[in-house]
């Protein structure tokens, strides 16, 4: 998600950045594309490696559009239904050149 001037915080992932940008928004599972592999970057070779360091899932954020969320490699989509409202577990976010990136320890359906 691109936030033009909503978040000027710099300095890595934090729960404060997540709460500022997404704290009052509802999230919905869009699992049709499934989990995507996030591969490690090799600075020396200037390319991605074959090593999977995380999984990623695109979620719909009410009023903000789609947001990719990085999750642990052990995460699976069991018990998450398509288009169900979900909650991120221990979410954090950071901004890099106007783009907001989100990580979480997991996702669970809202009861």
Give the dihedral sign, CA 93/2/22/5. positive
pLDDT-flagged residues of the chain (< 70)? 1-11
Provide the pLDDT for residue 40: 97
Provide the pLDDT for residue 79: 87
SS3 category, 30: coil
- CA nearest to 88, candidates 63, 51, 61, 48: 61
Say if residues 102 and 88 touch (Cβ distance below 8 Å).
yes
Q: How many CB atoms lie within 10 A of CB 97?
A: 6
Provide the pLDDT for residue 91: 98
Q: Angle at the Cα of 68 (from 70 to 36), degrees rounded to 5?
A: 65
Q: What is the pTM of this model?
A: 0.83
Cβ-based neighbours of 43, under 8 Å, separated by 6 or more: none
Provide the pLDDT for residue 3: 46
């Amino acid at each position: 998600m691109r936030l033009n001037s909503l978040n000027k915080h710099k300095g890595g992932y934090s729960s404060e950045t997540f709460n500022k940008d997404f704290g009052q928004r509802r999230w919905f599972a869009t699992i049709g594309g499934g989990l995507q592999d996030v591969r490690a970057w090799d600075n020396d070779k200037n390319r991605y490696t074959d090593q999977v360091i995380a999984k990623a899932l695109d979620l719909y954020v009410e009023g903000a559009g789609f947001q990719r969320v990085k999750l642990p490699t052990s995460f699976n989509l069991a018990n998450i239904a398509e288009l169900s409202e979900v909650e991120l577990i221990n979410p954090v976010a950071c901004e890099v050149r106007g783009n907001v990136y989100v990580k979480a320890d997991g996702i669970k359906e809202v009861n």
